[in-house]
Amino acid sequence: MPFIAAIPAALGTTWATIGGVASTVAGIAGTGLGVVSAINSANAQAAGLRNQAAAARYNQQVAGQNAEAVRAAGEVAEEQQRKKNVRLLGAQQAMYAGSGVTLEGTPLEVMAQTAGDMEFDILASRYNTEVQARRWESQGRFYGFEADRSLSMADNAGAAGILGAGTTILTGASRALSGWNGGGGSSEYQIGGRPYLR
């Protein structure tokens, strides 16, 4: 151990100076780890937000497809109902004709009322179909807004990581310089017999 104790004396330094340098090096290493941590954390947050955006875009597409499917099913149901209505009106007319009633006056009014009721039912069904389709479209727009918001937040997280890393660098540099300079005071020390100010 006397050999190790003699090293600072041979260099003209003190253990305090070596300790200060070691402390500064450790501070710089800690700053480096802080920078890496800030960037990694921001990247992980941004990746999570981008995944959320991708899921929201998928949901937006599904909602759009559901709206199209509802409309297509509504058109098919309307066409089937119209065909059924034509058959029912034909059967009603045949019943009147089979019973010897002429299609004038009350029987004609009953048939007209029946046709009007049938058309009203078709229009009500069309309206309900459109309401359901628009709900899907509205849900799709919500998912689109959610995706845009998540992407914006991902961009902000990346920028925050860069700013956090920069702040860590500046704070670490300030601490390192402060530690190297003895907290702002100046004192003289020697390295290799040459005086230096701290």
Q: Which residues pair with 194 in a beta bridge?
A: 191
Taking CA atoms, 110 is separated from 96, 104, 107, in Å, by: 11, 10, 5
Tell whether the torsion through CA atoms of 30, 35, 40 and 46 is positive or negative.
positive
Per-residue CA distances from 100 to 55, 88, 97, 140 (Å): 67, 19, 5, 58
Per-residue pLDDT of 91-145, as tens digits, reads 988 888 888 877 777 888 888 899 999 999 999 999 999 999 999 999 999 999 9
pLDDT of 155 > 90? The answer is no
Model pTM score: 0.61
| Predicted confidence (pLDDT) per residue in 16-59, tens digit | 555 656 666 666 677 777 777 777 787 888 888 899 999 999 99
Q: Which SS3 state, helix, strand or coil, does residue 190 take?
A: strand
- Specify the higher pLDDT residue, 148 or 196: 148
